[in-house]
Amino acid sequence: MANLQTVVVTGYGSWAMTEANPSAQILAGLNERSWEDCNLVTLEVPVVTDELYDRVEQALLTHKPMVWMSIGVAPGSPAIRAEMTGTNWRHFDVPDNAGARLSGVPVVDQGPAAYNANFPNHEIVAALKAAGIPATVSYTASTHMCNQMLYTSSHLIERHSLRTRCGFLHVPLTPEHVARQSPPEELQASMGLEMMTEAAAIALKQAILVMKAAA
């Protein structure tokens, strides 16, 4: 493993909207797989907005990964969403785990208005659909910490002149979460954890292929 390029996959821990966050559960599933073409590092990140920048910067500088892929949950989404853009806004309709409820606050003071993900999102979505997994390209990652992760990681990769492919996947809730949390009149879309883990693995392999082809 020492001679292999490192890839980092991040997911969020539990918070108000997801007691058992699928993005963290996916990390566990990825760790159970065999990764012969890369050194996989997974990182569970707490849902605390003021801690994110330092945690991401430390991980990027420690691992200098070939690929940085983040995962977050989008309650109500019926498909995997490959996010194209992270914007420089935090506007929280639900507070983070430290109680922060922000309104129109920049992710990075005086930072660029937005960053485009440099992931092969269209190829990823095509591969997911070919595997029978509902997926779509998305042009807004909202304004909560999923957007903050995409913006922050892109910003730090540029700031530190890293050659890292950076992307973000939004995943649905699991059926178990919907069954446990949603009253019958408010049932939401869901996707099985096994399918979401397979989607993350496919997306990661697509990104690795693109990086190796460009090397």
Instruction: Provide the annotated active-site residues.
Output: 83, 146, 170
φ/ψ region of 142 (left if φ > 0, alpha if ψ in -120 to 50, else beta) reads left
In angstroms, the Cα distances linking 207 to 13, 35, 41, 157, 159 are: 24, 14, 15, 16, 21
φ/ψ region of 110 (left if φ > 0, alpha if ψ in -120 to 50, else beta) reads left
Outline where DSSP puts E strands in 1-57.
Answer: 6-12, 39-45
Per-residue exposure over 74-111, b if at least 16 CB sit within 10 Å of its own CB, e if not: bbebebbbbbbbbbbbbebeeebbeeeebeeeebeeeb
3-state secondary structure of 24: helix
Do the bridges between strand 85-87 and strand 80-83 make them parallel or antiparallel, or are there none, so unpaired?
unpaired
